[in-house]
């Protein structure tokens, strides 16, 4: 290993989708199902949540892979059916689907003569806040079978993997969710929120990394205290080895031995690109990016090169902060990156038994109302929060039972929830139904579902291979596409498009906006076998 003092290899030239939506857990309120459950967090903190749910596999995939059974010779089909029927009583509260159909039950083994049953519950994230409840309920329902004497339940989580790993740089191919924390205005506490959110997710059991994207004024070296404060480079792979603090992986230009950068914008974009994409992040459930303030080249580079799962917006109560934040929200909206939460920092303080709002009220709620962002979190003016940032130990680590830590716990659950919801929507947005020979489309955040003929989709390709870029002349003719053509593969490309591979090897990029304008099939159930 050698110490990395400054990026020395050529800047990467990457092309990728601008937003990737992925997640492993959905947690939201349900008017039908609500439970109260106390459990121990990863740091021993006693927490109470109300209403839980997780994102699940699509029903077709789940039914096909619901159980990976490894039954012994002594087991019978009846015994296995009994166990699966018992486990199917455990229902996902949001989707109303049991854990067997969800595909959570793995490695089922039964010794009926001895009354022994063992299996593994593979949840979608290690940060699942009700994994203890799943384990307890699974033990209970199987133990109630009359022939069962001993139950062994093992808990695990699916490996970190993005939705479309093949489209990403090698360093990002084992990261499930990339969350941007942005303010578009300096001095509002964005870095404080990013760091404390990251360590909250780590406390929930997730594998987490932090990328400090501000090379002009990196904050991470001040806010955390890793033992090794210089990044290292693998000379053979020419990749960067991140440093670590309390189990969270860290990369910042401040750890490159250069302090703060003095360079022009295009050079900064190249440095950020290289630092982020050539780092050996390993398997991460969440990579939190501390975005620099503004909506310029650096921000656009990050949004276009990196498949962001979601964004968290940080603001303060002043009207001026709202104006700048609104610019950032619009930027993310144009780049198809969903903003899932607003954190209003420095809202109030308590003194003499009263609560004071020195900067006024309403900036955060105005963002929520105007842009439809679902969740708002308030942070008080608290000296310990600022002091912990300067001391190198995040507040949620220094005081895990405090008021600030509780707010970040709620924010962490929200981020996990929203990332999972988006991932589930994106993974099933465009699919091919072989029995109907039709492409089914259900765009995220839309209740509309419709069907398209594969040949119609192929003929509507607008790429340079199908349409002359200069003259607009149609190069792909109607007769060039057979009526019975079927897609070989459909893969999500972030929250805005899918990549469709056809039998002739052509890979078509089909944005959701375009698919919504194509002529649709009607009475699809009656067209089965006729398309």
Do residues 126 and 25 make contact, with C-beta atoms less than 8 angstroms apart?
A: no
Do residues 187 and 25 make contact, with C-beta atoms less than 8 angstroms apart?
A: no
CA distances from 197 to 374, 405, 412 (A): 18, 9, 6
Q: Given this model, what pLDDT does residue 254 score? A: 87
Q: Given this model, what pLDDT does residue 525 score? A: 55
* Residues counted in the chain: 531
Q: Given this model, what pLDDT does residue 351 score? A: 85
DSSP conformational letter for 44: S
Dist. CA 526–CA 337, nearest whole Å: 37
What is the pTM (predicted TM-score) of this model? 0.74
Q: Which residues contact 32 (CB under 8 A, 6 or more apart)?
A: none
Dist. CA 351–CA 310, nearest whole Å: 36
Q: Given this model, what pLDDT does residue 209 score? A: 96
Q: Are strands 248-252 and 243-245 parallel, antiparallel or unpaired?
A: antiparallel
Dist. CA 308–CA 272, nearest whole Å: 15
Dist. CA 485–CA 300, nearest whole Å: 38
| Sheet with 339-344: strands ordered across | 243-245, 248-252, 208-212, 284-290, 175-182, 310-315, 339-344, 376-378
CA proximity to 423, closest of 125, 47, 93, 103: 125
Per-block mean pLDDT, blocks of 10 residues, the chain (531 long): 37 33 32 32 35 34 40 57 92 68 88 92 78 88 93 86 68 89 81 95 94 87 90 89 95 79 71 88 94 76 81 86 80 85 86 83 76 85 78 90 92 88 81 91 83 93 85 88 92 80 89 89 56 41
Do residues 372 and 411 make contact, with C-beta atoms less than 8 angstroms apart?
A: no
Q: Given this model, what pLDDT does residue 406 score? A: 93
Give the residues across from 119 on adjacent strands.
153
CA proximity to 105, closest of 84, 88, 121, 89: 121
- The DSSP result for 95-151, as a single string, is T--BTTTTT-EEEEEEETTTTEEEEEEEES-TT-TTHHHHHHHHHHHHHTSTT--EE
Do residues 492 and 424 make contact, with C-beta atoms less than 8 angstroms apart?
A: no
Q: Given this model, what pLDDT does residue 43 score? A: 36
């Amino acid at each position: 290993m050698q110490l990395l003092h400054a990026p020395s290899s050529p800047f990467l030239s990457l092309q990728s989708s601008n937003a990737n939506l992925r997640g492993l857990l959905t947690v939201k309120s349900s008017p039908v199902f609500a439970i109260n459950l106390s459990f121990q967090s990863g740091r021993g903190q006693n927490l109470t949540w109300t209403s839980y749910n997780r994102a699940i596999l699509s029903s077709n995939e789940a039914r096909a892979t619901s159980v990976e059974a490894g039954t012994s010779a002594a087991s019978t089909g009846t015994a296995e059916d009994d166990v699966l029927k018992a486990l199917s009583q455990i229902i996902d509260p949001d989707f109303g689907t049991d854990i067997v159909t969800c595909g959570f039950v793995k490695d089922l083994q039964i010794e009926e003569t001895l009354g022994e049953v063992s299996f593994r519950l593979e949840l979608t994230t290690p940060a699942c806040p009700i994994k203890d409840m799943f384990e307890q309920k699974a033990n209970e329902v199987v133990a109630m079978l009359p022939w069962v004497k001993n139950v062994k339940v093992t808990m695990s989580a699916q490996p970190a993997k993005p939705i479309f790993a093949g489209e990403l740089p090698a360093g990002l191919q084992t990261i499930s969710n990339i969350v941007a924390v942005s303010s578009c205005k300096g001095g509002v506490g964005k870095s404080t929120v990013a760091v404390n959110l990251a360590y909250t997710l780590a406390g929930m059991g997730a594998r987490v990394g932090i990328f400090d994207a501000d090379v002009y004024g990196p904050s991470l070296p001040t806010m955390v205290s890793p033992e090794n404060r210089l990044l290292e480079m693998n000379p053979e792979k020419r990749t960067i080895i991140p440093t670590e603090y309390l189990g969270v992986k860290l990369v910042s230009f401040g750890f490159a031995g250069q302090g703060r950068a003095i360079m022009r914008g295009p050079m900064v974009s190249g440095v950020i690109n290289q630092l982020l994409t050539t780092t050996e992040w390993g398997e991460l459930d969440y990579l939190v990016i501390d975005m620099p303030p503004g909506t310029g080249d650096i921000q656009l580079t990050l949004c276009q090169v990196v498949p962001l799962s979601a964004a968290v917006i940080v603001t303060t109560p002043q009207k001026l902060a709202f104006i700048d934040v609104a610019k950032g929200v619009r930027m993310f909206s144009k780049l198809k990156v969903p903003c899932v939460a607003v954190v209003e920092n420095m809202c109030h303080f308590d003194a003499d038994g009263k609560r004071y709002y020195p900067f006024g009220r309403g900036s955060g709620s105005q963002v929520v109302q105007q842009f439809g962002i679902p969740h708002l979190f308030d942070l008080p003016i608290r000296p310990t929060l600022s002091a912990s940032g300067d001391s190198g130990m995040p507040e949620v680590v220094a005081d895990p039972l405090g008021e600030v830590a509780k707010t970040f716990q709620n924010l962490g659950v929200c981020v996990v929830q929203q990332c999972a919801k988006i991932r589930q929507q994106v993974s099933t947005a465009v699919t091919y139904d072989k029995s109907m020979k039709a492409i089914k489309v259900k765009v995220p955040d839309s209740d509309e579902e419709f069907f398209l003929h594969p040949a119609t989709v192929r003929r509507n390709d607008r790429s340079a291979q199908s349409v002359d870029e200069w003259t607009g002349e149609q190069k792909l003719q109607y007769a060039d596409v057979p009526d019975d053509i079927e897609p070989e593969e459909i893969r999500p490309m972030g929250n805005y498009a899918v990549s469709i591979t056809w039998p002739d090897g052509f890979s078509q990029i089909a944005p959701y906006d375009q698919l919504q304008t194509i002529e649709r099939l009607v009475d699809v159930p009656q067209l089965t076998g006729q398309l």
